[in-house]
Every structure is written in C-alpha cells, then in structure tokens.
Structure 1
C-alpha cells in the first residue's frame, strides 16, 4: 500500500465522516430543536475482535471512526445529540452481487456464518437505522452495533479448511 492510498482511505473513511458528523451536530445545536441522532457506518473489518488481512488502512480507519463516534457521543450528550455506529458485515447488494453468485462463497458462508445465510440491507440494516433515528432510542448513544450474521463472533472458523 502506498502512502497516497493510505491517505486517501483515511481522508474518506475517517476525516470525511468526522467532518460530516461535526457539521451535522453543529447544525443540530444551532437549530435549537432538541438534539438528534448521527449514525456512522463503519465495518466489521474495524472491530477489535477480528483482523482482516489486506485491510490495514480500511480496517484501522473504520476502527478509528468507531472511537470518534464514542468520543463525540460523550462530548455532545449534553446537547441531546446521540451518536452511534453500525458495523456491517457482508450483505446481498449490488456491490456484492458477483461474489454472492459464486458457489465457493455459498460453501464459505455455510461453514463460517452462524446464521448460514447472507442478509439483505433491508431489513438487516434499515430496521436498525430506523430505530436509532427514532426518539425511542433516546437513551442509546456511543455504541457500535454489529450487524454481520455472527461472522465476527469469537470461535467462528473463518480460517478453517473449507
């Protein structure tokens, strides 16, 4: 990985997300509407219980964004602003379409994913997002929500023979 690739990844995944969060929160405070909710999307590649080879910049930038989310939640709680992050695993989507069609990938999922199937973003992610933006989550802040079908659980045989 080049320094330029590293910097581009960090500028997008960490600096960009931090700046959006910062200015959205500033707007919430200035609007005097009683706070709100910010949700950052990170990745299971950034969790401290899993290390994915080849993702040094991506994984560490997503892990850092989880920490930014937690610290901002502490700093902005008094303004009634909640910040949480969602760490998704792999989902069926346009991006993963060609991967999902591969026979070896289905075998891999069956052997390694506790749910034995690949989720879809709706309702997999959208239902959680709807909850986090709703007032019913007013006491939920500074958390990392893992939505990965159990893929990142300790003991999942990700690197076992298939």
Structure 2
C-alpha cells in the first residue's frame, strides 16, 4: 500500500459533464490530487474555462454529445490510443428536467433516460474494451438521493437514478474479474446551476423547505468531489457495487 492511498498521482481520468457544477469541481479537485484530466462536455468555451482552472499539466478537453453519438466505443478507443489508457471514469453529465406526470410527454421521459442511463451504459461498455483502461481501474457514476426517495415532478429523474444504481451493482459484479471497480455517489441537493433551476421552478419557499430537510444544510460540489476522489483512489480498492450517499443527512429523516 502506498504512503497516501487517497493520492491520484499519475492517474488519467475522464470526467463527463466537466463544463459546470459538480463535474467541473470534480475535475479541479482531482487535478489537485495529481490526476491528469480529460474533461468532456458539449460546450467548448465552458470546457476551456474548466481547463484553465486545473492544476498541473497534461490535461485536455473533448467536445462530445452523448445524445447524438453513434460510436462511443470507437471514440473512447481513439482517445486511449492518442492519449493513454484510462485509470478512471467519472460520469457526471446528466439532467434533472422536473415535469409533472400530467405534462410529461414520452420524448421528455426518453431524453432523461438517454442522458442519465443509456449514456452511462455506453460508457461502461466502452471503458472495458481492451486497451482503453489500465487495471486496476475505477468507474464512478453520479446518482442522487432521488434513487431512494422522491419529490413531485421528478418521476423521470428518480427512475433514471434508480436505474443508475442498479446498473452499477450489475456492472460491478461482471467487471470485477477485469480489474474494474464500479460505484456511484448519491448526493442530496448541492449548490449548482441545476439547484438554481430547481429553485426557479419551485420557488424560494419550497426551496427553503428542501434545504431544511438537509440537517447539515445544502451541499457544495466539493463535498461530492471528495467522495469521488475516495472511490477512484487505491483507498477504495475493496469497494465496488455500492452507492456512497453524500447528502447532509437528507435520507436519515
């Protein structure tokens, strides 16, 4: 065991959704821990802003839209060949899109599932290809406390995060023999742009009620980044198939 089992020195890690919110904070924090980062998202200017905030050298950005991608497997293989095989993957890209059941159309439902679930499946399947990863490797999917509880107007989001956690458990069992650990992190409400959009939809009074349901208050993106750091690091070498709840006590009520 190395002197600091939480260190990510020399690790090459792909982070999706790295242009804002939790994904950006994860990229910044992991770079401080010695990791080399490939930041992935749809918005190049915002990705370049993330890149400017990273510590160390050797980082890169990649513009990619998972909703309009036909060959994620080939894309990941090309990245591994031109850069280096990956030691870790953090899938932080996702959408919440609150919508009451009465107003939810099928295409709205399918977009949530495609963004939050299908993209994760494609990434896991592509990551395990020969030459794409270095063993031992670690995959971390972003889930939510909404995988276990619910709020009105979030049926699609709740369903998608429940699917993510089930997918993580199944993938962890299947990929353990290939030297890949698979886990999730399930945050409560974190102060991000997504939370601000939620506040705009539900109003300040309802948002205050949500905040009171977190005994330790709302979280910060860095709180989630710390948990992801642990799951990617050698310190978590005996952890797979689980969802690490980081919710300020939300689920304890």
TM value normalised by structure 2: 0.53
Q: Structure 2: how far apart are the matches of 1:43 and 1:17?
A: 14
State how many pairs are aligned.
Answer: 147
1:45 to 130, 146, 165: 146
Structure 1's unaligned 5+ residue stretches are: 157-162
Q: Which structure 2 segments of 5+ residues have no match?
A: 1-103
Partner of 2:153: 54
Over aligned residues, Cα RMSD in angstroms? Answer: 2.2
Does 2:163 correspond to 1:64?
A: yes
1:6 maps to 109
Higher relative contact order (CA 8 A, sep 6+): 1
Match in the other structure for 1:25? 128
| Paired position in structure 1 for 2:135 | 34
Evaluate the alpha carbon distance shift between residue 67 and residue 32 of structure 1 in structure 2; reply closer, same or farther with a 3 A threshold.
closer
Partner SS, residue 53 of structure 1: coil
**Whole-angstrom CA distance in 1 between matches of 2:195 and 2:155:** 21
Of 120, 125, 141 in structure 1, the residue corresponding to residue 224 of structure 2 is: 125
Q: Deviations over 1:111-146 (max 9, x none)?
A: x2222x222111x11111111111121111000111
Q: Which has the higher strand share?
A: 2
Secondary structure, counterpart of 1:34 in structure 2: strand
